Structure 1
Amino acid sequence: MNINIQRGTQDVLPEQSAQWQYVMDKAREISRKYNYKEIRTPIFEATELFQRGVGDSTDIVQKEMYTFQDRSGRLITLRPEGTAPVVRSYVENKLHGLPQQPLKLYYSGPMFRYERPESGRMREFYQFGVEAIGSDDPAIDAEVIAMAMDFYEACGLDNLKLVINSLGDKESRSSHKHALIEHFSPRIDEFCEDCQARLEQNPLRILDCKLDREHPLQETAPAILDYLNEESKRYFETVQRLLRDMDIPFVIDANLVRGLDYYTNTSFEIMLEEPEFGAITTLTGGGRYEGLIEELGGPSVSGIGFGLSIERLLMALNARDALPDVEKALDVYLVTVGDVAAEKGAGILRALRHEGLSADKDYLGKKVKAQFKAANRMQAAFTAIIGEEELAAGMVNLRDMSTGGEENIPIKRLAAHIKQLQKMQ
């Protein structure tokens, strides 16, 4: 009986893996430029972390988490997002005590959500994200947004659309919450069960409902921007001014609501406008959070971050044919003639690899012609041909696969000679 891959997951095959490495190299490079350091957290955490951190009223906690009991009866959840684990680590390891603040962190790894698999949405997905924790300066908001934009542009995407909004501080959100309750209450029975349950607890989630997005009350719902207090207005205006100073165009969408309960003030999404396909695809989103660190036992400081799907990024890059040829060619392929040469080839390969060259040979007993075909398939820059005569003389025939030129080289000088040729190319 065949055992197949689970729905909502995927195998990343070698050719695809090269693309993943390409974009993750870009992610690490942009993190270095912005002075963000890597943090790694476990794939599973205590379920309470996400209940308290992400919010009981969110779809993630209510419907999408992979939660199970371990052998000690503890409730464990495969992480559905990256911010709460990073904040948990920040608090538990007392990173707020480090002299360098705000703490700038980036993470990458698999996340898990039990939701309906569709194009660009998996049950196991790989996420790259950043968190800047410990500063209330709106300049760090603008920096995080700029970092996300720079990352996508470095990967080869243009036609990016940045959408921003402000969810306000606690006071502003409270005023807006009451206005939403008054707005939706008279006709809440026309909404789905989830929206009815959220009316008193978190009516902001109603604006993000996929089932009731066409309901006429959605269009006339009170906008958060009308309920911002003076401090929140100044904060949002400063973020806008900083983005303009960095020549980053944006649009304001008062209906932009992030799907997690911990967001306050700045929220944003980056979309890819594709005129060819007539669609706007959301690539990433993020925002500022206030109270999350304190809720998890830490000091009263805030943070801001974003998380993006590598799968969705690769889909966009492939759709636009924006990925370069990222499969790395082989430096040298060793062609062996005869059993003795095939056996001695192992030592030669190891010597080449010790010198930093990528090298391979045949392991299926193929004829010489078939070995050259294999070298071509691997895009080998050079082939090194050895037989019994070459071994006896301590020589190897080196062929440049791009020019066809050949020369005899002492085996001991093979690696050094290939490196010299590579410098000259």
Structure 2
Amino acid sequence: MSENKKAEKIVGVKGMNDILPADAPLWELFENTVQSVLKSYGFQQIRTPIVESTALFARGLGAVTDIVEKEMYSFVDSMNGDNLTLRPESTAGVVRAALEHNLTYDGPKRLWYAGPMFRHERPQRGRYRQFHQVGAEALGFTGPDIDAELIMLCQRLWDDLGLQNIKLELNSIGNADERNRHRADLVTYFEQHKDMLDNDAQRRLHSNPLRILDTKNPAMQEMVNAAPKLLDYLGEDSRTHFEGVQRILRHNNIPFTINSRLVRGMDYYNRTVFEWVTDQLGSQGTICGGGRYDPLIEMFGGKPTPACGFAIGVERLLELMKAAGEQFTPNQCDVYVAHQGDAAQLQAFLVAERLRDAGLDVVLHCSSAGAGSSFKSQMKRADASGAAFAVILGEDEMAKGVATIKAMRLGEGENNQTAVALDNVADHVLDQIACGGDCDHPDHNHHHHH
């Protein structure tokens, strides 16, 4: 075999994407905003494992849901034969953790999570096999007030992210009895119109007739629109709860539409369900879905505990942020330190550390393959780094015990370079940053840590 045959390239798994440094500022802005909004409502973060026992999802999501039937990444642990699954969503895991660690024994809990989820579906725009969700789960709260609070939290998040045109759709799917009565009538209705059902709908007729209401088939729209509405089957308690949610939203000027066909894909929802939708992403319009899931904790063997939550598809939301024209300049640093010669290199490390001590972000020029370390090429890099200042240490500077500080964003004026004693470099740069780069007198005394 020839020695110099190039090794074959291994590429990433289809539908599992790299998030590259150029996108990092967008992700960070989103994550920081989410974290501060959730904190402002008293939610605490919980981090559960990415792998759970397969039984958790089969029981929690319902055996006939699309996710469990054909979208889960499940495998047998070759060490001990356990059936494991990469989580397709996070609610089941959060509830398992809450039960396992008795989180609600001393009162209700507001929790949130963020992280990757896995579903084996056809990758398409804004839908990936490894995708990210941020979600909140409020465990132990009974009334309509928490439902409304979660919705208002979402509204604040959209506002803080500068997103418009995200609309709230609301529905109540009542409790199991109410749904069963409705479901029976629905099946009867669909059977009367059997000639109009497509293959998909025929298959779902007895396993999951509610999903027929979700159909995208235009030929069925009119028939589906006339189907029995679950809202008409709600009893007194369910109706009062739903009206309570609406009352709080109206009082806080949160606009919403009642969408009587809104259902959630999981088996464990009840009462309030909601979706935040947008028309800016093509047909995949939902960026956040949520609702109540009071039965779930009991299904997992806990004592009956009410619960409500939502989940946001991060990739979709970032698409919206990009579309909204958010500008993210990947400004790598405040100061770029350029140097030439051995003595200057040693000094440059000291200067860079002093600047970092002062709270600044610093890129120190390090030697690299195939690129000259001439000052010209170093200044090119300094410019590309987005730094406001370059600190330059060369033979001349070393001889005089100074550093040249160059303001990178002042244009080609005469006054954009200053020689400063090595001990004063950090103070000088802080002063320049504090006064926006146009103070001519060096005796400024305000140090701004950013």
Same fold (TM > 0.5):
yes
Asked whether the equivalents of residues 58 and 205 of structure 1 are also in contact (C-alpha less than 8 Å), the reply is no
1:134 to 134, 137, 140: 140
Q: Distance in 2 between matches of 1:107 and 1:41?
A: 8
Asked whether the equivalents of residues 333 and 383 of structure 1 are also in contact (C-alpha less than 8 Å), the reply is yes
| Structure 1 residues 159 and 211: alpha-carbon distance in aligned structure 2, compared to 1, 3 A threshold | closer
1:89 to 91, 94, 97: 97
Q: Distance in 2 between matches of 1:419 and 1:336?
A: 20
1:421 to 428, 432, 438: 432
**Are residues 1:225 and 2:231 paired?**
yes
1:360 to 360, 363, 372: 363
Q: Distance in 1 between matches of 2:215 and 2:332?
A: 48
Deviates more, 1:156-165 or 1:338-347: 338-347
Structure 2 match to 1:9: 16
Asked whether the equivalents of residues 161 and 273 of structure 1 are also in contact (C-alpha less than 8 Å), the reply is no
Runs of 4+ in 1 over 6 A off after TM superposition: 277-280
- Taking CA–CA contacts closer than 8 Å with sequence separation of 6 or more, which of the two structures ends up with the larger relative contact order? 1
**Are residues 1:47 and 2:54 paired?**
yes
Q: Distance in 1 between matches of 2:284 and 2:217?
A: 20
Letter of the structure 1 residue corresponding to residue 211 of structure 2: R
Q: Deviations over 1:197-230 (max 9, x none)?
A: 5444443233235579836542322111111111
Q: Distance in 2 between matches of 1:422 and 1:153?
A: 30
Letter of the structure 1 residue corresponding to residue 88 of structure 2: P
Which runs of 5 or more structure 2 residues have no equivalent in the other structure? 1-7, 437-450
| Structure 1 residues 213 and 61: alpha-carbon distance in aligned structure 2, compared to 1, 3 A threshold | farther
Displacement of 1:325 after TM fit?
A: 2.5
Structure 2 match to 1:206: 212
**Are residues 1:345 and 2:335 paired?**
no
Deviates more, 1:338-347 or 1:40-49: 338-347
Alignment partner of 1:174: what SS? helix
| Structure 1 residues 326 and 369: alpha-carbon distance in aligned structure 2, compared to 1, 3 A threshold | closer
Structure 2 match to 1:67: 74
Q: Distance in 2 between matches of 1:384 and 1:334?
A: 5
Deviates more, 1:280-289 or 1:17-26: 280-289
Alignment partner of 2:12: what SS? coil
Displacement of 1:351 after TM fit?
A: 3.2
Normalization by structure 2: what TM-score?
0.88
Asked whether the equivalents of residues 87 and 118 of structure 2 are also in contact (C-alpha less than 8 Å), the reply is yes
Structure 2 match to 1:301: 305
Letter of the structure 2 residue corresponding to residue 154 of structure 1: D
Asked whether the equivalents of residues 172 and 229 of structure 1 are also in contact (C-alpha less than 8 Å), the reply is yes
| Structure 1 residues 213 and 283: alpha-carbon distance in aligned structure 2, compared to 1, 3 A threshold | farther
Structure 1 match to 2:32: 25
Q: Distance in 1 between matches of 2:151 and 2:41?
A: 12
Count residues with an aligned counterpart.
420
Asked whether the equivalents of residues 138 and 308 of structure 2 are also in contact (C-alpha less than 8 Å), the reply is yes
1:184 to 183, 187, 190: 190
Letter of the structure 2 residue corresponding to residue 413 of structure 1: N
Q: Distance in 1 between matches of 2:282 and 2:270?
A: 32
Alignment partner of 1:305: what SS? strand
Alignment partner of 1:304: what SS? strand
Q: Distance in 2 between matches of 1:208 and 1:361?
A: 56
Q: Distance in 2 between matches of 1:5 and 1:22?
A: 26
**Are residues 1:330 and 2:336 paired?**
no
| Structure 1 residues 278 and 263: alpha-carbon distance in aligned structure 2, compared to 1, 3 A threshold | closer
1:412 to 393, 401, 423: 423
Displacement of 1:29 after TM fit?
A: 0.8
Displacement of 1:280 after TM fit?
A: 7.8
Seq. identity, %: 40
Structure 2 match to 1:105: 111
Letter of the structure 2 residue corresponding to residue 287 of structure 1: G
Q: Deviations over 1:124-147 (max 9, x none)?
A: 101111111101110100110111
Asked whether the equivalents of residues 242 and 271 of structure 2 are also in contact (C-alpha less than 8 Å), the reply is yes
Letter of the structure 1 residue corresponding to residue 315 of structure 2: E
Which runs of 5 or more structure 1 residues have no equivalent in the other structure? none
2:289 to 268, 273, 285: 285
Displacement of 1:414 after TM fit?
A: 1.8
Q: Distance in 2 between matches of 1:265 and 1:213?
A: 30
Displacement of 1:405 after TM fit?
A: 2.1
Letter of the structure 2 residue corresponding to residue 337 of structure 1: Q
Structure 2 match to 1:261: 267
| Structure 1 residues 111 and 205: alpha-carbon distance in aligned structure 2, compared to 1, 3 A threshold | same
Q: Distance in 2 between matches of 1:297 and 1:391?
A: 72
Alignment partner of 1:234: what SS? helix
Asked whether the equivalents of residues 96 and 134 of structure 1 are also in contact (C-alpha less than 8 Å), the reply is yes
Structure 1 match to 2:441: none
Q: Deviations over 1:35-87 (max 9, x none)?
A: 11110000110011111111112111111000000021111000001111111
Alignment partner of 1:80: what SS? coil
| Structure 1 residues 182 and 159: alpha-carbon distance in aligned structure 2, compared to 1, 3 A threshold | same
